Amino acid sequence: MQIFKSPSLIANRLLLVVCLMLPWLNPFTSAPSTSVVPLLLSWMLVACAMLLVVDEAPAYTTSSYHPFAPSKVVAIGEELSPKAISFFIRVRQTSFQNKWCLLLVVWFLVSALTVPAVIDRALTVGVVAAVACIWIAMQIGKRAANPANGLLHWLFAAWLLAALVSSVLAILQYLNMARELAPWVNQPHIGDAFANLRQRNQFASLTSIGLVALLGMVAEERNISKRYLVTAWSALALLAAGLACSVSRTGAVQWLVVFALAMLWAWKKRKHTHRALMYLAIGAPLLVILWSLVLPWVALQLNGVTGASLLLRVAGQAQDYAPCGGRRVLWTNALQMISQHPWQGWGLGETDFAHYSTDYQSERFCDLLDNAHNLPLHLALEFGIPFALLCCVLAVHWIHKKAKLYALTNVQCIAFAMLLVIGLHSMLEYPLWYGPFQIALGLALGLWAEQAQSEPVEADPFSGTRQQIFPNLVCGALFLGCLFVAWDYNRVAQIYRQPEMRDAAYRDNPMQAASQTWLFKNQVDFARLMTQSIKQENAQETYELAMRVLHYSPEPRVVERAVESLRLLGRTLEAEKLASRLPTITPRK
């Protein structure tokens, strides 16, 4: 291969793999908001990954929109060169698509800044950064879709290696053998296994992504050696063991969907793909069943306790939460909350407050709730039904128009499988709130947008700014912004640490330094509310602070502070009314 003749190119590609792997493997986080550090790391790494490939040419993107009638194209062609015509048409196509994107952006900003009673600044900025992350990853995906760049296999390698390493960690967690690996490996409760992703379904989705990458690598190969085949089967066995350890029903469904898609793919492309693709697809669910039988027995032999079984969970014979904690109850509650504010929603970040303040006609979800665990439902809950419908219609329209579903290239089949995995997970939880899945979504969208063609893509002389300068600016802004947010978050985090664990500069008066933040004001207000003494002199101020913090974290101890303040103010009836909600909102397991 040409790449091995250039050590600098090898280093570039290896760094790309590292940048795309680390968001999945990062074990570190920090209070008070455990999602902040992993998100910042993911956003910074995707910016670095883009800078590594920014000079590569992206593939052409498909579009079925034709802004000119044929007669007008001919008329323009009398004055402009074919390349100029191609560029001008693509500009008009992009402009047409960007109008809808601009509408959604403006709608989001207006809603985020006007609808919530208390604006969560960190969350608002985080959504903007997440969109930037997805856009950057999409540009990487477009470059990987260009066969002349040779990036696609490196992309597969990053996904597959992340899934394989995580599967090893999950097996060690499942067998209670990961204790010595702290703090580099997360330490779940006995019986749980999720590698460093902190949730079983997230880890299960990573194994599904790894499965798609493995099948994609096999589909791209024409001549497969025995050594390659043995390696592929070994990787599949390890991924299946990881899924079995996760005992995730979501992951099981994802694997079945990928199996069905791979079988259809192998049948339609049977003249151009190796038979190993079909054999691996058939072996995937069978290996999961095998490991689901073997691993609980292995756990029993090692630890004296039978491990959790994926088969029992799928059969409904094993449940690890109360009936009131199920999705049926959650979605019923979400629909009732939506019915109260159907047009403009409750506002960005107000789901937990909406759940706190709603008296349900049916059973109440018995835990704190900050997400509807279904992406369309969540969009409708926080931004209104019209916004959610527009997002769904535009997403389906874009995916449908970018390629003919019955004439997909291998790259688009892989992207479609990735979108199915992430989409299925998003219908049950909220993976797109996490950096690795934002990157995976962007990469899949970039691959999906590529145009099927066998010839290398000719560089467009008119698009240098769009292809290099603008991505450089976005990556630079995102990276520098993350550095500032990391510094700001670190000084806020000091107030949540024991004095001996604080940085020397903040050890004496951490609250004073943290109070200077603009971005993480909610976290500072929460800490101030929980630590200050309530007296007659500050009762009114404490009550107002508690009512504001309720929009950030409506948990029982916040309500208790508000009730105590009201009683000191002599507002007994209000205090009793507020206290009556405590039994309702107290989490139950």
Dump pLDDT digits (tens) for 48-68. 999 999 998 887 654 443 443
Whether 513 maps to a domain, the answer reads: yes
Count of all residues that appear for the chain in the document: 589
Asked whether 61 and 451 are in contact (CB, 8 A), the reply is yes
Question: What are the strands, taking DSSP E only, across 146-220?
Answer: none
Identify the residue whose tokens are 């009762």: 539
542 is a domain residue? yes
Q: Is the peptide bond before 183 cis (omega within 30 degrees of 0)?
A: yes
Q: What is the pLDDT of residue 190?
A: 81
Question: Using CA atoms, how far apart are residues 306 and 190, in angstroms rounded to an integer?
Answer: 11
- Could you tell me the residue range of the domain that residue 518 belongs to? 487-585
Does residue 494 lie in a domain region?
yes
Per-residue confidence at 404, pLDDT binned at 50, 70, 90?
A: low
Q: Which of 74, 102, 76 is nearest to 88 (CA)?
A: 76
pTM of the model as a whole = 0.91
**Share above pLDDT 70 across residues of the chain, in percent, rounded to a whole number:** 87
Six-digit token pair at 403?
């390629």
Could you read off the pLDDT of 370-389 as tens digits, one per residue? 999 999 999 999 999 999 99
User: How many structural domains compose the chain?
Assistant: 1
Burial class (CB in 10 A: 0-12, 13-18, 19+), 110: exposed
Give me the pLDDT at residue 456, please: 46
Q: Which pLDDT does position 81 carry in this prediction?
A: 55
Q: Which residue has the higher pLDDT, 15 or 323?
A: 15
Q: Can you give the pLDDT at residue 205?
A: 98
- The encoded tokens of residue 557 equal 């101890």
Q: What is the pLDDT of residues 221-236, one digit of tens each?
A: 888 899 999 999 999 9
pLDDT tier for residue 403 given thresholds of 50, 70 and 90: low
* pLDDT score for 64: 43
Express each pLDDT in 91-113 by its tens digit: 555 555 678 888 898 999 999 99
SS3 346: coil
Residue 340 lies in a domain: no
Least confident of 97-101, 392-396, 444-448: 97-101
Looking at residue 67, its pLDDT comes to 40
What distances in angstroms separate CA 223 from CA 226, 280, 336, 390, one per listed residue? 10, 16, 56, 46
Does 516 reside within a domain? yes
What percent of the chain stands above pLDDT 90? 68
Binning pLDDT at 50, 70 and 90, where does residue 476 land?
A: very high
Residue 390 has pLDDT above 90, yes or no: yes
Collapsing DSSP states into helix, strand and coil, what is residue 166? helix
Whether residue 506 lies inside any domain: the answer is yes
pLDDT reading at 130 higher than 50: yes
Segment 408-428 mean pLDDT: 93
Residue 457 is classified by DSSP as: P
Q: Is residue 36 part of a domain?
A: no
Tokens linked to 12 = 């570039």
| Whether the predicted pLDDT of 238 surpasses 60 | yes
* 192 Cβ contact list (under 8 Å, min separation 6): 173, 200
Residue 288 has pLDDT above 90, yes or no: yes
| Average pLDDT value over all residues in the chain | 88
What mean pLDDT is predicted for residues 323-327? 82
Residue 579 lies in a domain: yes
Say how many Å lie between the first and final Cα of the chain, rounded: 57
Burial class (CB in 10 A: 0-12, 13-18, 19+), 134: buried
Bigger pLDDT: 424 vs 31: 424
Res. 475 pLDDT band, cuts 50 70 90: very high
Q: Does 440 have pLDDT greater than 60? A: yes
pLDDT of residue 452: 41
The top-scoring range by mean pLDDT among 218-227, 382-391, 443-452, 579-588 is 382-391
DSSP track, 202-243: HHHHHHHHHHHHHHHHHHH-SS--HHHHHHHHHHHHHHHHHH
| pLDDT surpasses 50 at 309 | yes
Task: Compute the average pLDDT of residues 306-326.
Answer: 80
- What's the whole-number mean pLDDT along residues 406-430? 91
pLDDT for residue 584: 81
Higher-pLDDT residue of 177 and 317 is 177
Least confident of 316-330, 336-350, 436-450, 529-543: 316-330
